[in-house]
Chains A and B, each alone.
Chain A
Amino acid sequence: MLVKVAWRLFWRELRNGELWVIGFALVLAVLTVVSLSGITDSVRSALMQRSANFTAADKVLRSSAPFQQEIFSKATELGLQSARQLQFNTMVFAGETMQLVNVKAVSAEYPLRGLLQLETPAGIVNRLSAGHIYLEARLAQILNVRSGDWLDVGAARLPVGGLIIEEPDAPLNLFGGQPRLLMHIDDVAATEVIQPGSRISYRYMFAGSDNALQALTKATEAALSPNDRWQQLDRQSAVGSALDRAEQFLLLAGLLGIVLAAAAAAVAANRYSQRHQMAVAVIKALGVTSAQARRIYFSHLLFVTVAASLLGLLLGLAANWAVQGLLGRWIEGYQAIFSMKAAWLGIATALICSLLFSLRPVWRLTAVPAIQVLRQQQRQWQLDHWQLLSGSVAVLTLMWLFSGDLWLSGMLFLACAGFGLCLLGFAALLVRVAKPMAAGQSSALKLALANLRRRLWQNSFQLMTFSLALFLTLVLYFLRAELLEQWKQQVPQDAPNQFLVNMTAPESAAIGAQLRDAGLSPGLFYPMISGRVLAVNGETLQEPEQEDGAVARNQTQAKTAGEKTEPPEPAKRQGFGRELNLTWLTDLPANNQLTAGHWFSGTAEVSVEQQQAERLALKLGDSLSFAIGGQTFEAKVTSFRKVDWNSLQPNFFMILSPDLMAAFPATYLTAFHLPKDQQPFLTALLKQYPTVSVISVDAILQQVTQIIDQVSLALTLILVLVFTAAVLVLVAQVQATVEQREQELAILRTLGARGRFLQQAVLFEFAALGLLAGVFATLLAEVLLAVVQQRLFQLPFALHYSLWGLGPAAGVALLTLLGTLLLRGILKPTPASLIRRALHS
């Protein structure tokens, strides 16, 4: 019977609004958590999958030691696919012609991700076969060989099987390097190249689920030496950095959205409980015990929580599904991921919001004594310390749950609490001084200001929540716009997508002229040469143990490709262990910024990239010894530079003064943007200069653009969610005053106040509240934007002039609209019906 009564009351109560607000707030919170968690996971997975295409595997372990079979066995045991790869440099001979090449020897499973395309006499094939070698087109040109010709590789003589058209993990060799040769790993033994002491890079390649890959990483920890490195996504790359910022933004926005939604649920639960005091007293007078009353009203909360969780979960999963669909359309071979983590987080959020925000008001409700039926007036509930405590615990728990970072959560919580208290104080002060402002105003305005002052505590609290809701929406709106703008600046429409390398000085001049004639804008032509840093102030640098030159070179090359290997632990004065690409320039490049010292003013000077300077513990005035070929020279460190690695422009660790390099032969490098329709021009240019190589980074740019599009979509979604949560708080707050306003309006109407007069008074009251809330929100938003921009996102601060117009205007418009809409029901009726309704409320 009790269940029947509870169920009937629940359905009837749905008409009264508060349960909808609680439910909608919970749906929003769950939707925010599930969709955000899912979208960030999807974007991360998409990025990883794209990166995997560039590394031919999901995860690669690089080692200088021979393969350990146990690691492959463990991978098989974990259900992972695996492949082997060796890289080494050796000489190849085609008759009398010889060339130093970089050999990549792979097992039959290669590649595990991405596409291998080999042009053979039989057509394009995607797998290489043992007994053949495949050459980079440049190498075939240098050696003047074709398919079917025989080459000597070490001790082995092998036929050319074809040319490499596309190789997923081909290095973006901006700086020339050795031409490449691909062969089957089974043929390596016959070459007899691998001898004790040979510099070989061994690569374990794996593909499979994240969990299995993580398990493999953990399982192999003990078996790896300090020189074995797992290849990881570079967090400093343009893509990694964009994703990091997006994650931080989404995390922040998501947290705020959830807190707003939870606040709306709390306000609605309070109103629900406040309105039902008499109903509880009545049923208790009729013989219902406190436990039974709890069962009835908690069941309402339970129904709402369960229904809202399910709906939020479904909507969140639908949003994830839509995002996965978009990713699948954008990324070829994209494998959709659906993690249960998002669903569990969503359910946990609903439970925390429901239990810690709404349980306390409902508990207080069921504790209303039966004797209340004999009291004519309902008790106005004061702020309950337990509710404040449980709400605070809920906010903190949600922040922790969502961010996984207790310190960040604690700081954010304290900041929010501080903001709230300041706002409350300011609001109380302002509302208090509103009385003198009413003097000399029209009577409707006077009444509005009197109302504000009379409901001082209530209005101060409302003003605080209105301001916070507006403030969060404004902050997110402006941060979103700024982030997107910054990303777009990083990857502008005309970002360089082609790199020309291996140009001689005369070629660079001629090519530069042709590019300009074709309407293209090449950047600087950087002279370039490979050299080593030998010593600092005469102290010889310690050479780190390393795999081989090819691997080390790849680390530099990968800087632009968006991936790198983790650097070894820094040791004192440890050298690079490889040759560096050195350049010399008269002027400081545009995307470089001096952090110390001065640009070249004399001779024999060097400018060092800041992080490398720190790594080598350099000071201004130190002397660096360089070796190029067989020649050595000294240069004095006169400046340190900060380099924008996200700029997609060629960057250098060491820039030398031009006087030092005059005697050395150099090749040139430049970058430029090539529109798609001008591809034929580039083909013709390369035919004209066969020794010049072109590296296209279109695919990377496309990846960055797609990620930005994806993140932009997520940002818009989260902004909409936060705005909706903010509106929900406003609705809940206005709803909470309906009964009190109804009674006051009934009295005023009875005393003869005209409907239009009362409508104007309410309009003024909400406009005044909106204006105050808008000004507070704008002020706080400007302060927080400055802090977040500079500390969290490392963006430069600039005053937001449009914010100062938008904030107050949005406050007035939104609150006036909401107030008028939500109160229209009590502003229009006749005095008689108002009085009747006031009696029933």
Chain B
Amino acid sequence: MSVTPELFIQTRQLCKQVSLPGNTLNILTDINLTINRGDSVAIVGASGSGKSTLLGLLAGLDVPSSGEIVLAGQRIDHLSDDARAALRARSVGFVFQSFLLLPALTALENVTLPAELAGQTQALERGKQLLELVGLDARMHFFPAQLSGGEQQRVAIARAFITQPAILFADEPSANLDSATGRKVEDLLFELNQSQGTTLVLVTHNPQLAARCQRQFQMDAGRLVEAVRHTQERSYAG
């Protein structure tokens, strides 16, 4: 499969099946998707439609049953676990619905963790800058249990950007927050995405959040349909 230079993520005939006792469940069927560098993409759909599974495959967290995936110019569907981990460490950032901060580490330590694991120097300085950017410089030594939900998600966003990833995957980033806090977190996410020039792929139920992305895909029973494509960049202020 040839890769067009501006393409950043591409899938072809992507399928994911799960074997159950007595039958096989098709979670994703023939997903063909192209995402250009710098795009912001929302994948929407009902619960159980396969959104998160697709996100996991695109991010290299899981492998498909069949089909091809190219991420950041590299085919990843046949890579080993370790090679995919190395690719994630280099190029991918994550923001999760339930924040997934390590409870034993402080906000600053959570933020610097990916950089430290990748062996990057200057992690501490950059971590402090990012926490300042998300407005939590006063709470950098707090543990997650001492922070509110919104604050935790801001820490998670700072963590996602510490390695300056080329692509950011977000799974329902505001679903566990009240609407006002959620809105603020979304703003922050888009602002950072824009300022860092990151490609953004997010999965959400929230049509307003999806509407802030350049492209929207609808997942339905494991099949993907592009619902909206804006040719011009969307306003990150919503």
Interface residues of A (CB under 8 A from B): 1-2, 4-5, 8-9, 12-13, 15-16, 278-279, 281-292, 369-371, 373-374, 376, 836-837, 839-840
**Other CB < 8 Å A-B pairs besides A2-B117, A290-B81, 10 of them?**
A1-B118, A9-B104, A15-B104, A279-B104, A283-B117, A286-B94, A286-B114, A286-B159, A287-B85, A373-B94
Question: Are the CB atoms of B82 and A279 closer together than 8 Å?
Answer: no
Hey, which chain B residues are within 8 Å of A2, CB to CB?
117
Task: Please list 29 pairs of residues, one from A and one from B, whose beta carbons are closer than 8 Å in the complex, sorted by A's number.
Answer: A1-B117, A1-B118, A4-B116, A5-B117, A8-B105, A12-B105, A13-B104, A279-B104, A283-B117, A284-B85, A285-B94, A286-B117, A287-B88, A287-B89, A288-B117, A289-B85, A290-B81, A290-B82, A369-B61, A370-B85, A373-B61, A373-B94, A374-B53, A374-B55, A374-B61, A376-B97, A376-B98, A837-B145, A840-B103
Hey, which chain B residues are within 8 Å of A370, CB to CB?
61-62, 85, 88
Question: Are the CB atoms of A371 and B119 closer together than 8 Å?
Answer: no
How near does chain B come to A277, taking the closest CB pair, in angstroms?
A: 11
Closest Cβ neighbor of A290 among chain B residues:
B81
Complex CA distance for A785 and B224, rounded to whole angstroms: 70
Hey, which chain B residues are within 8 Å of A292, CB to CB?
117
Hey, which chain A residues are within 8 Å of B88, CB to CB?
285-287, 370
Question: Are the CB atoms of B113 and A287 closer together than 8 Å?
Answer: no
Question: Are the CB atoms of A371 and B56 closer together than 8 Å?
Answer: yes
Given A1-B116, A1-B119, decide whether A288 and B100 contact each other with a Cβ distance below 8 A: no
Closest Cβ neighbor of B112 among chain A residues:
A5
Hey, which chain A residues are within 8 Å of B171, CB to CB?
374
Interface residues of B (CB under 8 A from A): 52-53, 55-56, 59, 61-62, 81-82, 85-86, 88-90, 92, 94, 96-98, 100, 102-105, 109, 113-114, 116-119, 144-145, 159, 163, 171
Closest Cβ neighbor of B63 among chain A residues:
A371
Complex CA distance for A839 and B103, rounded to whole angstroms: 11
How near does chain B come to A163, taking the closest CB pair, in angstroms?
A: 80
Closest Cβ neighbor of A5 among chain B residues:
B116
Complex CA distance for A290 and B85, rounded to whole angstroms: 9
Hey, which chain A residues are within 8 Å of B56, CB to CB?
371, 374
Hey, which chain A residues are within 8 Å of B85, CB to CB?
284, 287-290, 370
Complex CA distance for A288 and B94, rounded to whole angstroms: 14
Complex CA distance for A140 and B147, rounded to whole angstroms: 98
Closest Cβ neighbor of A4 among chain B residues:
B116
Which of A16, A279, A285 is in CB contact (< 8 Å) with B61?
A285
The 10 closest A-B pairs by CB, nearest first: A287-B89, A12-B104, A289-B82, A286-B114, A371-B62, A371-B61, A287-B88, A289-B85, A370-B61, A374-B52
Question: Are the CB atoms of A5 and B113 closer together than 8 Å?
Answer: yes
Complex CA distance for A278 and B56, rounded to whole angstroms: 15
Hey, which chain A residues are within 8 Å of B102, CB to CB?
9, 279, 282-283
Hey, which chain A residues are within 8 Å of B62, CB to CB?
369-371
Complex CA distance for A118 and B2, rounded to whole angstroms: 109
Question: Are the CB atoms of A287 and B90 closer together than 8 Å?
Answer: yes
Given A289-B86, A374-B56, decide whether A839 and B104 contact each other with a Cβ distance below 8 A: no
Hey, which chain B residues are within 8 Å of A839, CB to CB?
98
How near does chain B come to A502, taking the closest CB pair, in angstroms?
A: 82
Closest Cβ neighbor of A291 among chain B residues:
B82
Given A5-B117, A285-B88, A837-B145, decide whether A373 and B100 contact each other with a Cβ distance below 8 A: yes
Question: Are the CB atoms of A282 and B116 closer together than 8 Å?
Answer: no
Question: Are the CB atoms of B89 and A286 closer together than 8 Å?
Answer: yes
Hey, which chain B residues are within 8 Å of A12, CB to CB?
104-105
Question: Are the CB atoms of B144 and A8 closer together than 8 Å?
Answer: no
